[in-house]
Amino acid sequence: MNKFVHIFLLLLVFTSTSFSQTISVMSINAQNLFDTIDDFEKDDKAFLPIELKQSQKHKNECNNISVKRWRMECFFQDWNKETKDAKLNNIAKVIISFGNNGADVVGLQEIENINILGQLFELLKPYGYIDFKLLESNDKRGVDTAFISKYKIKNPKLHYVDFSPNFETIDTRPIFEVDIEFNNNIIKFYNVHFPSNFHPAQMRIESFEKLKDLIKSHNQPAIALGDFNLTNKDDKKFNIYKNQEDFWYVAHRVGCSLCKGTYYYGRGKSWDFLDTIMVSKNRGINFDPQSINVFKTEFNTYKDTGKPFWFDAENRKGISDHFPIVAEVNIN
């Protein structure tokens, strides 16, 4: 009898562990990953080869840009093939530097189109990536969200946020939803790029409400990631990340206790978690808290300040003004 009990217990342990899996996830704002082709339906005039910037029409458009740095980029930045390829290679280098040749699922923000995403994917294919997805949104600038994955991506769709009538939506991206299957376990992923801090905090609050509506609409496990554009100041004022905890575990509130943030605001001299990863509660998945981290390398970090190493089109070094955030997620 004891022998049968022992066998039963072994089988119970085996079945409880054999169907578990751990996946790794990265969210990275690529900071203006554009191709070199002029898309007349998008505001890509800063990211063109210099020979395409000589017309009076182009110069007039540049003159209308109020922010000096962006205006100078519009006039003088030579976004040629060599510069674009350097940007692609630098991003790919960061991605594959994490874990076992890159996270299982990478969510990206600020990607112009499927063309440039496909070029990044080709650099990552040798490291086990098999699929990529981007759906063009109505964003005038042309900075969309995207996924690259070591697992098949299915059922892509966009969810637009219905903002209050008094808010602008010119640079607001929809929430990008996909399904990814891991050994017969389907997880919904939501990739976000919420309204920037040029806009009122209420727009970001309404975006979070839309995300909450989406997870309430089904019972599947889900992971939300991306650039939520939420500063520590607004988070403390409105308790926004805390208010998500009815439905989500928020990465930097679960782990990463020594992390300063993913973005540094020079004007306010403050670190913020603009970027994070959230995992649905009570749906068969959870964070490994020890795995949650802001991912820094020698080539995406300024050595003297520890801040994100922005890409410089002249010397073709750097990556982005955001650090990636990474985590491992257990599928039970």
Domains and CATH numbers, the chain: 21-34+80-331 (3.60.10.10), 37-79 (no CATH)
Q: State the pLDDT at residue 8.
A: 44
Question: Between 56-63 and 68-76, two packed helices, what is the crossing angle to 10 degrees?
Answer: 170
Report d(CA 296, CA 325) in Å as an integer.
9
Distance of CA 319 to the CA centre of its chain: 14
pLDDT in tens, the chain (332 residues): 455 545 444 444 444 444 589 999 999 999 999 999 998 888 899 999 999 999 999 999 999 999 999 999 999 999 999 999 999 999 999 999 999 999 999 999 999 999 999 999 999 999 999 999 999 998 878 899 999 999 999 999 999 999 988 886 665 789 999 999 998 899 999 999 999 988 899 999 999 999 999 999 999 999 999 999 999 999 999 999 999 999 999 999 999 999 999 999 987 789 999 999 999 999 999 999 999 999 999 999 999 999 999 999 999 999 999 999 999 999 98
The answer to whether 173 and 151 have CB atoms below 8 angstroms apart is no
DSSP bridge partners of 117: none
The dihedral region occupied by 321, where left means phi > 0, alpha psi between -120 and 50, and beta the remainder, is alpha
**pLDDT for the residue numbered 15:** 42
- Are the CB atoms for 328 and 287 separated by under 8 Å? yes
Instruction: Please give the pLDDT value at position 16.
Output: 43
In 10 A of CB 52, how many CB atoms?
15
Q: What angle do CA 156, 144, 165 make, to 5 degrees?
A: 95
Contacts of 199 (CB under 8 A, 6+ apart): 167, 168, 172
Q: Which pLDDT does position 12 carry in this prediction?
A: 43
Residue type, 298: E
Give the strand pairing for 275-280 and 325-331. unpaired
